[in-house]
Structure 1
Amino acid sequence: MSRKSIRENLLKAGDQLVWNTGYAGTGVRDIVEAAGARPGSFTNHFTSKEDFVIEVLDRYFAYVSGLVEEALGDRSVRSVDRLRRYIDLITGKLADADYSRGCMIGNLSLEASFDNERLRAHLSKLFATWRGPFEACIAEGLEKGEIAPLGSAAELADFLLSAWQGAMLRMKVDRSPAPLATFRTIVFSTVFDGGKHA
């Protein structure tokens, strides 16, 4: 097996482990075993578990960024409808996982905020990058009067992503789509109401 395929197998196996057991619960030995790799192979490709998990996160973020572009990229669609499209698209992905997985970035943020400064800083950077396309979409909506001017585009993008992360957290606890539906109903009848506030 080539070095490239061993590395890929480690990342794929680790991705599943990080989803299932989080950062603290995922050990290097577990990753190697799940990948069917030889003991010691991990250190041939990664300098630490931290580096490994950051790469897993970056791969996940690339996937999420594709979903963001799919939902928000068509500027011929009203900004609020693009935001709604994103929420609906992600809700479908969450349903496919029986409302048990949530968001890897949000999941790891709960762990990394206290005892791993490098991972915490990387997650913070991902959230800031993630905000960008939402901020641009919301700025269009503010300019066209489709979104209530309750803050700047950056503040409203932060609010949207933070509140959505909270809804997903509650969804995981309850194993129910109800928190997602409540979030969608309230946020699109208040701040992102399509201009009905005007």
Structure 2
Amino acid sequence: MTAPSAPTQRDLLVETGARLFHERGYTATGVRQVAAAAAVPLGSFTNHFRSKEGFALVVLDQYVARLDQIVQATLHDPSLEPTRRIAAYFDAIERALDEQDWSVGCLIPDLATEAPAHSEVLRDALARVLERQTSAFTDVLRQIVAPDDADDLAAVLLAAWHGTLLRMKVERSGAPVARFKRVLGRLLPA
């Protein structure tokens, strides 16, 4: 059996960057801070990433890849009824948030509150991520609501979820998530 390999400097930088973006925000996090927190020389940062913006794109891609795993396990699970798929998605995210003591929300709305003013490239990347997420919800919602309503409901549902996560971070409490899930249960057909 082969021992797991140690994370590379690049991996350490990306993991640390995600944590610092969650804690401090994109604008308040400098590349020097990321390198120092990762215990990696600043030169290694510049060897792996051409800019903070390029770095943020990699951090976002890694984050979205983790979310995609949850989407696959929940929203794309054909063994679950459509309404249960949606609930399972939010349940999975809630468990992860609880493990973080409600202090870490979602990187997507976190970046979306800052990045568009500073980076058109990040704004475009976030728009694509949001479109992909909306599409995953739309596919499920088309099975339980009128097809013409599914796109709008998916977009509103995702926007409400992101707002819930921002409020959760402010309150450092699972109460906004519990409220969201109660209302979701009343909105979706059984």
Relative to the length of structure 1, the TM-score reads 0.86
Deviations 1:147-176 (A, max 9, x none): xx4952211111111111111111111112
How far apart are residue 76 of structure 1 and its match? Answer: 2.9
The aligned residue for residue 66 of structure 1 is 69
Matches within 5 A, 1:28-177: 28-142=31-145, 149=146, 151-177=148-174
Distance 1:5 1:176 in 2: 34
Identity of aligned residues (%): 38
The DSSP-based 3-state class of the residue aligned with 2:21 is helix
Could you tell me which of 180, 189, 193 is aligned with 2:189?
193
Cα root mean square deviation, aligned: 1.7
Aligned length: 184
Distance 2:140 2:84 in 1: 10
Distance 1:46 1:159 in 2: 35
Quick one: which amino acid aligns to residue 165 of structure 2? M
Runs of 4+ with deviation above 3 angstroms: none
The aligned residue for residue 30 of structure 2 is 27
Structure 1 unaligned blocks of 5 or more: 143-148
The structure with the largest alpha-carbon Rg is 1
The DSSP-based 3-state class of the residue aligned with 1:98 is coil
Relative to the length of structure 2, the TM-score reads 0.90
